Chains A and B, each alone.
Chain A
């Protein structure tokens, strides 16, 4: 029982980070209809920027977080402006944009390999350590992951529902073309969606650099988890993506209770497959369509 509870705590923390990645992906997809496969590249750049600034250059943590945030946002916006928007102007198909996005992720991954090599890096900090709560061991990173995910996802919901920009973004989720017709500039709001979606993955990147450490291959992994989370939750639904990401984190951790950890990816995509077969709209997808 203690093992299950401890695995649940680990799953909650991992799921919180997946939730942030999935919400960012879902926001970008829902507003711009871009299958932003390079979303994992954003995390990769943010994580390595944080590592380079805080561990190598010894910058203060706040400044390093800011640097990671700037790099991630600029990358997301840059990819939208320089890759996706020109392609959309030529009426490129969904598949063409997806292929381009996939290419961007490969380029980013290889650039990271060239700059940092394939080695593993982590940022040493007491944050990755923890304390016992009864029989359960909790790390500071675990707590930060859950708190930041809740705060940021609630803040995003408030932004989406309470601000003018948020209203336009919601309108874009319904029909991007209509927003353009009303002269609101869907490209500008698309850029805002990319900026917010990219910024959301930064906490996941930073906390990962403290806990699991960094490797160039993690970009593709987090992209797949974000996509799986967004689909499980109901593609296009931000709350759904958050719940989907959380669910995957918990499932993959609880799943290794009796299985080898080599099964983690199989558990994640088993859950995805199950949802696609049983509930293709995802957890909250049907409600979105009705609304």
Chain B
């Protein structure tokens, strides 16, 4: 009885041991195969805190999904890993974050956002030969080139698409501009003035505001007196919503114009922003299998439809993966110089929304759509193909 019992116990123990051994071996082999794949780190300088943290969340959703997709791709030799740093959408913390990404994390590729941030980190990246892709900032000054790439159309492209439409189709002759006093806002103001002059409209008032201001009563006074046919808001984040609200509260019913920042959900749902016309890059959500896969997985993961910011950062990561795959195929080392060379050799990238290419100054070439916010969502009024 005792012998049979201890025998059974011994057999059971042996079986458990065998199962455990197999499980551990399986785990070890799985982790070994994962560990065998080279890890390609990339950095992301997004506002994770502060008033523009809402953008950081949007941007990282696109980037994270791309990393998931690339890592799940059996053909891709390696694994991507994002190192996030909080830029707070401000140049100074961004420079600190960029230095850490370049010198400590040793990344070869950085996702950037916001014009001031991008302009601040570009010299560091160019000096260190670190490839940077901006998918959120739209200042015309971001046509930096070298190691700096934009996969979002810059505001001069957006203004070039919008102004002919509002001047010719909407008979807008007098435009007022309220813009943040930073590289982006000043750049947009400059482009609107130049383009308006060419098209025969006039900028009757241009008001610069502090990026941290939330009270615009005196600006509303000036804009009311300007009697413009349309008011262009060149701001971002919560501030653009505050401006729209205070303009409407102040009795100004003038047509509002803006750029891609008006595409964020908070602005789309804002009562004061209804009827606003804004530009954004055109994305064909039925362009290819990758786009359809992206759309399905994005909705499943985040429970919402993606916007162009999420597409841009998804695409930026996919471009990095394509560059790595290209260099691996050519048996070349993954360095900033080789990434830059590969970009010029590949020329066109098949990404979400269809193929995109880049100009020599690092700007993307893609169609721009003109939208109107209506009932909490956007309706496309026109799609404009811009020439070289």
Docked pose: A217 CA to B50 CA in angstroms: 11
Most buried by B among A117, A128, A130, A215: A215
Docked pose: A186 CA to B28 CA in angstroms: 74
A119 touches B238 (CB 8 A): yes
**Residues in A whose Cβ lies below 8 Å from that of B73:** none
Residue in A closest to B221 when the chains form the complex, CB atoms: A6
CB neighbors of B among A178-217 (8 A) = 211-213, 215, 217
B207 touches A261 (CB 8 A): yes
Q: Is there a chain B Cβ closer than 8 Å to A90's Cβ?
A: no
B53 touches A261 (CB 8 A): no
**Known contacts A14-B217, A128-B249, A262 near B209 by CB under 8 Å:** yes
* Distance between B235 CB and nearest chain A CB, rounded to angstroms: 12
Docked pose: A218 CA to B215 CA in angstroms: 11
Docked pose: A245 CA to B216 CA in angstroms: 19
Q: Is there a chain B Cβ closer than 8 Å to A94's Cβ?
A: no
Q: Is there a chain B Cβ closer than 8 Å to A111's Cβ?
A: no
* Distance between B228 CB and nearest chain A CB, rounded to angstroms: 15
From B49, B51, B218, give the contact of A256 (CB < 8 A): B218
Q: Mark A127-159, 1 if CB is under 8 A from B, else 0.
A: 011111000010100000000000000000000
* Distance between B376 CB and nearest chain A CB, rounded to angstroms: 15
In the complex, the 6 A-B pairs of residues with the closest C-beta atoms, listed nearest first: A120-B238, A212-B215, A128-B249, A10-B217, A6-B221, A262-B210
Q: Which of B103-111, B157-165, B239-247 contacts A (4 or more CB under 8 A)?
A: B239-247
| Chain A residues packing against B (C-beta within 8 Å) | 2-3, 6-7, 10, 13-14, 117-120, 122, 124, 128-132, 137, 139, 211-213, 215, 217-218, 253, 256, 260-262, 264
Docked pose: A122 CA to B242 CA in angstroms: 9
Docked pose: A13 CA to B53 CA in angstroms: 32
B225 touches A211 (CB 8 A): no
A120 touches B239 (CB 8 A): yes
Docked pose: A7 CA to B239 CA in angstroms: 21
**Residues in A whose Cβ lies below 8 Å from that of B217:** 10, 13-14, 211-212, 253
A3 touches B221 (CB 8 A): yes
**Known contacts A6-B224, A120-B238, A213-B242, A261 near B249 by CB under 8 Å:** no
| Chain A to chain B contacts (Cβ below 8 Å), 10 pairs | A14-B217, A129-B248, A130-B251, A137-B224, A139-B250, A212-B246, A213-B245, A260-B209, A261-B207, A261-B213
Instruction: Please count the residue pairs between chain A and chain B whose beta carbons lie under 8 angstroms apart in the complex.
Output: 89
**Residues in B whose Cβ lies below 8 Å from that of A217:** 212
**Residues in A whose Cβ lies below 8 Å from that of B216:** 261
* Distance between A107 CB and nearest chain B CB, rounded to angstroms: 18
Q: Is there a chain A Cβ closer than 8 Å to B54's Cβ?
A: yes
B221 touches A120 (CB 8 A): no
Q: Is there a chain A Cβ closer than 8 Å to B367's Cβ?
A: no
Most buried by A among B214, B224, B225, B238: B214
From A3, A14, A124, give the contact of B222 (CB < 8 A): A3
Residue in B closest to A126 when the chains form the complex, CB atoms: B249
**Known contacts A261-B216, A262-B181, A262-B208, A129 near B221 by CB under 8 Å:** no
**Residues in B whose Cβ lies below 8 Å from that of A213:** 214, 242, 245
**Residues in A whose Cβ lies below 8 Å from that of B50:** 118
Q: Is there a chain A Cβ closer than 8 Å to B219's Cβ?
A: yes
B251 touches A132 (CB 8 A): yes
Residue in B closest to A113 when the chains form the complex, CB atoms: B49
A117 touches B53 (CB 8 A): yes
| Chain B residues packing against A (C-beta within 8 Å) | 49-51, 53-54, 181, 207-210, 212-219, 221-222, 224-225, 238-239, 241-242, 245-246, 248-251, 271
A6 touches B225 (CB 8 A): yes
Label chain B's interface by main secondary structure.
Answer: helix
Docked pose: A34 CA to B98 CA in angstroms: 44
A118 touches B250 (CB 8 A): no
**Residues in A whose Cβ lies below 8 Å from that of B241:** 120
* Distance between B161 CB and nearest chain A CB, rounded to angstroms: 28
* Distance between B206 CB and nearest chain A CB, rounded to angstroms: 10
**Residues in B whose Cβ lies below 8 Å from that of A119:** 51, 53-54, 238
From A118, A129, A139, give the contact of B53 (CB < 8 A): A118
**Residues in A whose Cβ lies below 8 Å from that of B225:** 2-3, 6
**Known contacts A118-B50, A130-B249, A261 near B218 by CB under 8 Å:** yes
* Distance between A259 CB and nearest chain B CB, rounded to angstroms: 10
4 additional contacts (CB under 8 A) given A128-B249, A253-B218: A118-B53, A120-B51, A129-B248, A256-B222
**Residues in A whose Cβ lies below 8 Å from that of B213:** 261-262
A137 touches B245 (CB 8 A): no
B249 touches A211 (CB 8 A): yes
* Distance between B153 CB and nearest chain A CB, rounded to angstroms: 27
Docked pose: A217 CA to B212 CA in angstroms: 9
A215 touches B210 (CB 8 A): no
Docked pose: A272 CA to B215 CA in angstroms: 21
**Residues in A whose Cβ lies below 8 Å from that of B248:** 129
* Distance between B224 CB and nearest chain A CB, rounded to angstroms: 7
**Residues in B whose Cβ lies below 8 Å from that of A124:** 271
Most buried by A among B51, B215, B239, B245: B215
**Residues in B whose Cβ lies below 8 Å from that of A7:** 218, 221
A260 touches B181 (CB 8 A): yes
From B49, B53, B250, give the contact of A137 (CB < 8 A): B250
Most buried by A among B210, B213, B214, B249: B249
A10 touches B221 (CB 8 A): yes
Residue in B closest to A265 when the chains form the complex, CB atoms: B210
